[in-house]
Chain A
Amino acid sequence: MSQQDAIAVFQVEARETLEMIEQGLLDLMAAPGDRGLIDAVFRGLHTLKGSGAMFGFDALAAFTHHCETAFDRVRKGEVAATTDLVSAVLAARDHMRRLMEDPKGDHGAAGDILLVDLERAVRAADGAAGPADAPPAMTTWRIIFDLPENAFRNGSNPLALLAELRDLGEAQVVVDASQIPPLDMLDPTGCHLRWTVVLTTDQPRQAIEDVFIFVMDDMSLQIEAIETDAPKTPAAEASAGETSAPETPPASNAGAEAPPAPARDVAPPAAAVAEAPDGARTRTQESVRGPADRLDELMDRVGELVIAQSRLSQIASSGADPNLRTVSEEIERLSGELRDTMMVLRMVPVSTLFGRFRRLVHDLARETGKTIDLATDGETTEIDKTVIERLADPLVHLIRNAADHGLETAEDRVAAGKPATGRIALSAHQSGGEVVITIRDDGRGIDRDRVRAKAESQGLIEAGAVLSDHDLLQMIFHPGFSTAAAVTNLSGRGVGMDVVKRTIEALRGAIDIASRPGEGSEVSLRIPLTLAIIDGLLVRVGRGRYVIPLAAVEECLELSLDDDKRSRGRSFISLRNSLVPYLRLREMFETGTPPELHQKVVVVSTGTERIGLVVDQIIGDHQTVIKSMSKLHSGLPTFSGATILGDGGVALILDVGHLVAKGQHQEAQMREAI
């Protein structure tokens, strides 16, 4: 692994740690006394400091060190985790993130201000804590610790640990070498020793645990208070066989034999030690990190398997071997399950998306001077990862629109008899093969008259034209359309909604808008669950097979020979009193084959505009696994991709949007010609 890779890995981990710290702090606001949360945050800070220094993020390490020191007082119970203090640490956390993402930037001044704030918060919180944790003046502790066998390889140094313990007070160390294996089995790089330390110190138990903070997860550690103000040599002589340390100071039998938790005092730390690795284990179960393209690779392999399997089942069903058929069916089932599991693996909950908008709404509220409440619902709904990424920008546009155009100011709201706080609700739910995401506000709704006036002034509709409410609302998706009287920083530049519409359509989704004057607006996005598989209509043109996305297909009808002849010279068919232009794919693709006797017309549309595609044969529905075309062919606008059929052949996927545009163009030319 190169240094660059290592830094990238560090940054990924640091981002997670920062996330964890943020969550912990936010939770801490609600439950200020929670020891578990305080410890988790402290550990996060400590990890960040240590690994930051290791990877050369010195500014980060230094800054984090100050925060850690401050937060340590919370951890020791010296100061209470007040809201102000937690906010100060939160602000400091944001700064750590900046230091981590941009280590070369100049952040010194900002950091100093944050530290001053933090210091002030700590001082304000000082004394607010209960005295419960205050340790007695002098305590004698018995500390028994046992490092894992790989401790040396992990860089742990027991001598350093012992030295740190000695720094805390008067310590007597006994080593237990009974676990050392016979010489011929001895791994000299392994750690086989166990230590018992009798330490008399004025420091609290926490100070002793701190010594072991880096190795705590893997080791076993017992700390028990033997006596407060106890005699210096408390226990009996250890038996010689068990303690072989040369300086054989007094040590207790109990220590050398390491009985399981003899005293009540031992229980809490033992439990803590047991918890830590447990916690670590659950975390690794939750998520496995890996580059997304490996998932795509896996998806490809599964695709291959599915195709190979369909060939196998063809062979099996044509043969007479029942065993082969059984195996083939088994493999069919397995590969189907594997494909489903694969699809699930690519899914991520929309909460990853919604989470980003809290901050956005917060900022929007400040910029507009409105009070805005963001409600989210259905965050566990899952969508394909690539889809999620492409949804972020359109949603930002829509939320901005809702905050800027939709919601009224607090005064206007109160005057209209609504609560002063505006509300934006984001929700997601799955319906069939689609996910529906809605953005709803309880603002003033879309002003139809202004939309109409604007559309007329821009020449989008004729003055006084009769439009359905739906069609009128659709006007706002036109490029350059904006009803905002003034262009604000947030929206109103007229580049928003048409971009939103195009992005959603590129995802093969649909956008719909509903609005009630005075009550608010609702925009719904219907997005297919995945981009990897679509339902398609498989057709044949000449000798080639093509897939038409089923979502675009309106109807199929026959192009009779009469129609065909009659239509010569004008490529239109009449469909329920409207003329639909059509493209003869056979001619367009120059197949060089004679037309079938009964050609079919597949009528496809993109919302409002439609055209017919003349094909030789309609083969049927096809679950289409979309494969992208190579660079050699990606520039061809007629095809959006390719797919592999059950017999191993390749079918090209038609780009309906392009074909419709082409048909419309042709129509326009025809009109001119007439």
Chain B
Amino acid sequence: MSTQSDIAATAAGWTGADQVEVLTFELNGELFALHAVAVQEIMDLAPETVVPGAGDFAGSVINFRGKVIPLADLRVAFALERGAPTIDSRIVVIEIELSGEPTLVGLRTDKVHEVTTLARADSEAPPSVGMRWRPEFIQCLVKRDGEFIVVPDLQTIFNQQQDARQPVASATRH
């Protein structure tokens, strides 16, 4: 195993362990995985409230058990095509740290697959060239059954989006 994949493996939560539990889900046909420990709940689509001026990545909020939480779309970060919701669409509620505060965030998914175990031995760091996606948004790629599962680096993605958030649209004047 190369040193590079060791580093990637550590970043992916393999610290000391050879395996990690993840939840796999689909976005526009691509397979992604999230660390299962971060997942709070998988819920059906809920009525969304658009937040004007908040941008595409986290453009709306939902009611999650009496809390108002942002709904984020990883497809924006990975520049994937954003199709209409289907009967399989779900929201995965996760907890991540934003500016040092644990925050609940909903993630749109096209379909949730399963909770499964990924082996450290199968993981690879994202190639620095030849990728469609920004490599810093990816913790590692895990090869399984002939396809790659993308483990996104949520912390980096959210921090970036938070910094790059657009200011509220100014009033149109006539």
On whether the beta carbons of A650 and B63 are closer than 8 Å, the reply is yes
Q: Is A428 an interface residue (CB 8 A)?
A: no
Q: Is A339 an interface residue (CB 8 A)?
A: no
Whole-angstrom distance from the CB of B92 to the nearest CB of chain A? Answer: 16
On whether the beta carbons of A587 and B105 are closer than 8 Å, the reply is no
Give residues of chain A (594-636) contacting chain B, Cβ–Cβ below 8 Å.
627, 629-633, 635-636
Q: Is A155 an interface residue (CB 8 A)?
A: no
Residues of the B chain whose Cβ atoms lie less than 8 Å from the Cβ of A666: 171, 173
On whether the beta carbons of B161 and A648 are closer than 8 Å, the reply is no
A-B contact pairs, 25 of them (CB 8 A): A304-B65, A544-B49, A544-B50, A569-B174, A588-B169, A589-B169, A590-B52, A590-B169, A591-B52, A630-B69, A631-B98, A631-B103, A631-B162, A632-B105, A632-B161, A636-B53, A637-B168, A638-B168, A642-B49, A644-B63, A644-B68, A648-B46, A649-B47, A649-B63, A666-B173
On whether the beta carbons of A630 and B51 are closer than 8 Å, the reply is no
In the complex, what residue of chain B is closest to A644 when comparing beta carbons? B63
CA distance A523 to B76 in the complex (A): 53
CA distance A583 to B173 in the complex (A): 9
Residues of the B chain whose Cβ atoms lie less than 8 Å from the Cβ of A651: 49
Partner of B66, one of A304, A583, A588, A639: A304
Give residues of chain A (546-605) contacting chain B, Cβ–Cβ below 8 Å.
568-571, 583-584, 587-591
Given contacts A629-B61, A631-B99, contact A636 B49 (CB under 8 A): no
Partner of B158, one of A632, A636, A662: A632
On whether the beta carbons of B174 and A571 are closer than 8 Å, the reply is yes
In the complex, what residue of chain A is closest to B58 when comparing beta carbons? A632
CA distance A339 to B137 in the complex (A): 43
Q: Is A301 an interface residue (CB 8 A)?
A: yes
Residues of the A chain whose Cβ atoms lie less than 8 Å from the Cβ of B165: 632, 635
On whether the beta carbons of B49 and A649 are closer than 8 Å, the reply is yes
* Interface size grouping (class) on chain A: 35 or more
Q: Mark A293-329, 1 if CB is under 8 A from B, else 0.
A: 0000000110111010000000000000000000000
Partner of A584, one of B51, B52, B158, B172: B172
Partner of A648, one of B47, B72, B104, B162: B47
In the complex, what residue of chain B is closest to A645 when comparing beta carbons? B63
Give residues of chain B (77-131) contacting chain A, Cβ–Cβ below 8 Å.
98-99, 101, 103-105
CA distance A650 to B68 in the complex (A): 7
On whether the beta carbons of A632 and B98 are closer than 8 Å, the reply is yes
CA distance A631 to B160 in the complex (A): 13
On whether the beta carbons of B51 and A652 are closer than 8 Å, the reply is yes
Number of interface residues of B (CB under 8 A): 36
Q: Is B67 an interface residue (CB 8 A)?
A: yes
On whether the beta carbons of B47 and A629 are closer than 8 Å, the reply is no
Residues of the B chain whose Cβ atoms lie less than 8 Å from the Cβ of A647: 47
Partner of B58, one of A300, A305, A569, A633: A633
CA distance A589 to B174 in the complex (A): 15
CA distance A627 to B105 in the complex (A): 15
Partner of A588, one of B52, B58, B103: B52
On whether the beta carbons of B168 and A636 are closer than 8 Å, the reply is yes
On whether the beta carbons of B169 and A639 are closer than 8 Å, the reply is no
In the complex, what residue of chain B is closest to A305 when comparing beta carbons? B66
Whole-angstrom distance from the CB of A193 to the nearest CB of chain B? Answer: 53
CA distance A632 to B53 in the complex (A): 12
CA distance A620 to B105 in the complex (A): 30
Contacts A571-B173, A630-B70, A652-B51 known; 11 new A-B pairs at CB < 8 A: A545-B49, A588-B170, A629-B70, A630-B61, A636-B53, A638-B168, A644-B66, A648-B46, A648-B63, A666-B171, A666-B173
Closest 8 CB pairs of A and B: A304-B66, A589-B52, A631-B98, A650-B49, A642-B68, A587-B172, A632-B70, A627-B68
Residues of the A chain whose Cβ atoms lie less than 8 Å from the Cβ of B67: 300, 627
Q: Is B7 an interface residue (CB 8 A)?
A: no
Given contacts A300-B67, A630-B70, A633-B61, contact A639 B51 (CB under 8 A): yes
CA distance A352 to B105 in the complex (A): 38
Residues of the B chain whose Cβ atoms lie less than 8 Å from the Cβ of A588: 52, 169-172
Residues of the A chain whose Cβ atoms lie less than 8 Å from the Cβ of B58: 632-633
CA distance A543 to B61 in the complex (A): 14
Residues of the A chain whose Cβ atoms lie less than 8 Å from the Cβ of B68: 627, 629-630, 642-644, 650
Q: Is B45 an interface residue (CB 8 A)?
A: no
Whole-angstrom distance from the CB of A591 to the nearest CB of chain B? Answer: 8
